[in-house]
Structure 1
Amino acid sequence: MDTNKSNFRKAKNKVEKLKRFYTHLAVYFIINSIITSVKVMSGTNSGETFEEAFFSFSTMASWLVWGLVIAIHAFSVFGLPLIVGDDWEERKIQQFMNEEFEHNKKYK
């Protein structure tokens, strides 16, 4: 019974992490598309060609900087569990609990 609860909790946690990542990704595309559209319209209205306005550093900067944040988020969701293992959190919690138990045992 306890194992089922633990497995359910792990699965629910993974789903929540995925949901947060996909929400972050959707917001990234929506907001950056709006920013790009506004900058391109502003640039073309001030005499730039579409290509100059679209490929300017100020237009691409938000895609690049926020894209790095998305890449880090993706790594934390997909890559990190492959490296440290899915049960890393539980092992660390157990380690800290054992250390605390040993520490308290010494001073009683």
Structure 2
Amino acid sequence: MERDYFEEESYLRAQKRVKELKGFYWHLFWYMAVNIFILIMIYRGLGKNDSFFRYEHFATAFFWGIGILGHWFGVFGIKGVFSKNWEKRKIKEYMDKDKF
């Protein structure tokens, strides 16, 4: 009975992690697709004397990129530092120290 509980808990954690990864990769895919489309449309609409490298042309990519970076940290970065696994390791470490 206890083994089933731990297997189910492990499965649910893995399933949650897969959903987080899938969400990030879809977010990244749409970021790339939409921004490539926008930049192609801007490039095609420019006249002879217009500059492609203007702030307005890259504003969407820049600000959405900040969102992508935040999403990345949520999935891969900062969250891993103080995650539940980290807490469990630290608790076990301190309990082991108290035994001696």
TM-score, scaled relative to structure 1: 0.71
Match for 1:24: what amino acid?
Answer: H
> Runs ≥4 in structure 1, deviation > 4 angstroms?
none
The structure whose RCO (Cα within 8 Å, separation 6+) is larger is 2
How many angstroms apart in 2 are the aligned matches of 1:86 and 1:40?
A: 47
1:72 counterpart residue number: 70
How many angstroms apart in 2 are the aligned matches of 1:19 and 1:8?
A: 16
Which runs of 5 or more residues in structure 2 are unaligned?
A: 87-100
Which runs of 5 or more residues in structure 1 are unaligned?
A: 89-108
Deviation of 1:87 after TM superposition, in Å, equals 4.5
CA-to-aligned-CA distance 1:26-66 (integer Å, 9 cap, x gap): 000000000001011111xx3335xx22x111111111000
1:48 counterpart residue number: 49
2:41 counterpart residue number: 38
**CA RMSD across the alignment:** 1.5
Give the number of equivalent residue pairs.
83
TM-score, scaled relative to structure 2: 0.76
How many angstroms apart in 2 are the aligned matches of 1:74 and 1:41?
A: 32
1:15 counterpart residue number: 18
Match for 2:59: what amino acid?
Answer: A
Once the two structures are aligned, what percentage of the paired residues are identical?
Answer: 27
Deviation of 1:82 after TM superposition, in Å, equals 1.9
Match for 1:3: what amino acid?
Answer: F
